[in-house]
Amino acid sequence: MTDALLRDLVDAARSAPSAHNTQPWAPRIVDGAIELGVAAGRTLPIGDPTGRDTLVGLGAWTEAAAIAAAHAGRRLEVEALPAMRDPEAVVLARRADPVARLTLGDEADDDELWSALGARLTYRGPVQRVPGFLSAVAATVPDGMRLVPIAARDLTRFATLGFADILARRGVAEELAAWLRLSPRHPRYELDGLSDRVLLLPRAAAAAGAPFTRRRRLRDAAAFLARHGGDLVRRTLLEVPVEAAGDAADADHFALVVDSNELSLGSGAELTRVLNSPLGLPAETVFDAGRALMRVWLQAAQQGIAFAPHSEVLDSALAQGELEYRLGLGRRAVPLFVASVGRPVEQSPPRSPRLPG
């Protein structure tokens, strides 16, 4: 009975979001528990060298499993394991050790977000603002975390600068290209990655780009051009402030920020080690932020509101620095996720596929 329920939770959690739709989770049911590992080959060691996005995705997966457990009348107890702090396990997925153990606990009331699991939306096209949504949902995030609004013109600048900056980094364009599925003929079109449909690419652009995602030599050539193009844009943007808001003006934008001074992080060398670590936070905190983020994303879904994430803002030290300055974030306020939110103008936005259960 327990194993059957755990299998249902694993199945429900597959709907969780993940960077580039990598689906980095590797759950196994062992001795009446779910051992959650990181799937080899499903992380982004170049684009996500700190493991931030992987941990956020694993947190979102876990929250989905917890919501499914509550729907079945049980609490899900979540224990972070030492491997969660190990970049070999999280960033590179080279260690098979689980990063968390999930077990069924006491009875629980159903979670009202259950019905939103299948309705959660990521949408990168035109949206309409839903006044009041961000401030209402901001009140629901746990202590120590907050949703900080970002002005539309600032988001435009951070996103453009961030994208150009990360593309200029060696290996990033190649890594991204490996997760693009620009034609239904791609062998993984129905499994994972980002398709032309969810990226809302015009048919001609997708057709022109598709061979670059499948043939390594073409991919490397395109990555070379992107790298140098990215560098040019980055340098230009550092000189020229971008003011035009464009489509961004129609959405709301926010950063999910963790205030590390509200956590008990110890003192002295221990504290310094955490603050100076690549994540700037304990891995468990980033994982918990992924859980909180999932709840916000699902609350949005309940109202037909979609997220358009902008990780490029945080993947670039330049763009992240500008964001921190603009939002007045001190050294101990760590942004973990940036997104635009709004109600898609399109009726049935395309969905990303999932690996079979």
Ligand X SMILES: Cc1cc2nc3c(=O)[nH]c(=O)nc-3n(C[C@H](O)[C@H](O)[C@H](O)COP(=O)(O)O)c2cc1C
Residues found near ligand X in the complex (CB under 6 A)? 17-21, 53, 56-57, 60, 122, 124, 194, 309-312, 351-352
Closer residue to ligand X in complex, CB, 19/257: 19
Closer residue to ligand X in complex, CB, 199/263: 199
Minimum distance of ligand X from residue 303's CB (angstroms)? 16
Note the helical H segments in the chain. Answer: 2-13, 52-71, 87-90, 133-138, 152-167, 172-178, 203-214, 216-239, 268-275, 283-302, 312-315, 317-327
Three-state secondary-structure class, residue 125: coil
Minimum distance of ligand X from residue 30's CB (angstroms)? 26
Closer residue to ligand X in complex, CB, 213/311: 311
Q: Name the pairing type of β-strands 194-195 and 180-181.
A: parallel
Minimum distance of ligand X from residue 65's CB (angstroms)? 15
Closer residue to ligand X in complex, CB, 60/168: 60
Task: For 74, list phi and psi in degrees, rounded to 5.
Answer: -130, 150
**Which residue's Cβ has the minimum distance to ligand X?**
17
Three-state secondary-structure class, residue 254: strand
Question: Which residues make Cβ contacts (< 8 Å) with residue 218, sequence separation at least 6?
Answer: 211, 212
Closer residue to ligand X in complex, CB, 50/122: 122
Closer residue to ligand X in complex, CB, 104/154: 154
Q: Are 178 and 102 in contact (CB under 8 A)?
A: no
Minimum distance of ligand X from residue 56's CB (angstroms)? 4
Burial 142-163 (b: 16+ CB within 10 A, else e): eebbbbbebebbbbbbbbbbbb
How far is CA 344 from its chain centroid?
19
Minimum distance of ligand X from residue 82's CB (angstroms)? 22
Closer residue to ligand X in complex, CB, 123/212: 123
Minimum distance of ligand X from residue 288's CB (angstroms)? 14
Question: Which residues make Cβ contacts (< 8 Å) with residue 311, sequence separation at least 6?
Answer: 19, 48, 53, 337, 338
Minimum distance of ligand X from residue 314's CB (angstroms)? 9
